[in-house]
Structure 1
Amino acid sequence: MIHELAQEKAKVTDWPGYIGWAVGIVILIGLVYWLMRQGWNWRRTLQSDLPPLPAAPEDLGPVLRTASGRYHGSTTAGAWLDRIVAHGLGTRSLVELTLTERGLLARRPGDQDLWIPAEALSGARVDSGIAGKVVPAGLLVVTWTHDSKALDSGFRADHPDEHAAWVAAVEELATRTTRTTGKTKKTEEAAS
C-alpha cells in the first residue's frame, strides 16, 4: 500500500512537464513583449516626419498656473487611440505643469520636457481618456498644433478638482493669443 502511494506521488510531480510548461509560458510572454516593442518602433518610424519639439525659452514669462501630476501621452487630436510616440510624446511620466503667458511647460523627469508655445494652443477640456488610458475622474486634455498637426496631450493633476480652472486658463490664453496673432497677421497683410 505504501509502495502504491509512492508511485502515485511520483506521477503527480512530473517535474519535466512542469518545467516544459513554464519555459513555454516564459517564451510566449517574451514573444508578446517583443511584438509590442516592434509595434512601438514601427509607430515611431511612421511618425518620423514630425519635427522635433520646440525648446522652452529661458524666460517663461509670468506664471498663470502650476500643478503636479502625471503625463499620460499625446494623440492625434480627436483620435484618442492614435498615440503619438515620436520625440518621447508617448511615454507616460510624472509631470510638473506650468502655464505662463508664453505657453505651457510640462517638465518630465527622466524624459524630454514638453513646451507648447501659447500661439500653438488651441484649447483644453476635461475628458475621460487618452491614448488607451481611461480615468473615471477625468484628464486634462490640452489641444495644440505642432507643424500644422493638431495634437491632444493628456495630463492628470494630483488634485483633479483643479482641471476646470486649468481648462479656463488655457482657453483664455489660447483665445487671447489667437486674437493677438490675428491682429498681427491683418496688420502685416495691410502693410504688404
Structure 2
Amino acid sequence: MSKDVSTLIVIGLVVLLLGLMVAGWYARKRRQSHIGVPLQPPADLPSEHPSFSGKYVSTTLGCDQLNRVAVHSLGFRGNCTIEVHPAGVAVFRAGERDIWIPRDDVRGIARATWTIDRVVEKNGLQMIEWTLDGTAVDSYFRMDDPEACEKVLAGVVGNERESQ
C-alpha cells in the first residue's frame, strides 16, 4: 500500500471519529431536552455578599457523576465566580450563560474528588446539588479557596452533606 493511500485512510478514520463524536453530543442534547433552562441571576443582587473565584467544571445528572448535562451550555468548562446570597447562589461563568440557583432548589453541598473527565486531590471539588426545573443535577467547581467557599455556602444553604 502506498504512503498516499495510508494517509487517506488515516484521515478518513479521523474524520469519521470526529463525526461520531459530534453526533453523540447532539444525541445527548436531544435526550436531555426535557431539562429546563437555568434561571438568570436577579438584576438587583446586592454586591456586598461573599464572592469566590475558580473554575466551573461541569454539571451532571444528580448522583451520576459520569452523565454530563449538555444542554443550555452547562457542558462546557470555564472560569467562574460564585456569589453567595441569602436567596441563593449566583454563578457567573466567563463566556457562558450565568446561573441562578435559588436557595429552595439547593439539595445540598458536598466535596468530591472526581466527576466526568476531571480527577483532583481528595475533596478538591466543590459540589452543589440542586434541582433544575424538576431534574436533580450536581454542579462541580474547582474553587481557588474551597474551604472559605464551603463555609459560606453551608452558612447560607444550611444543609451540607458529609464529603464523598
TM-score between both structures, scaled by the size of structure 1: 0.75
Unaligned runs of 5+ in 2: 160-164
Quick one: distance in 2 between partners of 1:61 and 1:144?
Answer: 23
Quick one: distance in 1 between partners of 2:18 and 2:129?
Answer: 31
Instruction: Note the C-alpha offset of 1:132.
Output: 2.8
Name whichever structure is richer in helix by fraction: 1
Alignment partner of 2:132 out of 131, 146, 156: 146
Instruction: Note the C-alpha offset of 1:108.
Output: 1.5
Quick one: distance in 2 between partners of 1:26 and 1:67?
Answer: 44
The amino acid of 1:72's aligned partner reads V
- Indicate the SS of the match to 1:122: strand
Superposition pairs for residues 113-132 of structure 1, below 5 Å?
113-132=98-117
1:103 equivalent in alignment to 2:116: no
1:169 equivalent in alignment to 2:155: no
Q: 2:49–2:84: 8 Å Cα contact kept in structure 1?
A: yes
**Whose RCO is larger (CA < 8 A, sep 6+)?**
2
Aligned residues: 158
Q: CA RMSD in A?
A: 1.9
Instruction: Note the C-alpha offset of 1:63.
Output: 4.3
Larger Rg: 1
Q: 1:63–1:100: 8 Å Cα contact kept in structure 2?
A: no
Alignment partner of 2:55 out of 53, 60, 70: 70
Instruction: Note the C-alpha offset of 1:62.
Output: 5.8
The amino acid of 2:156's aligned partner reads L
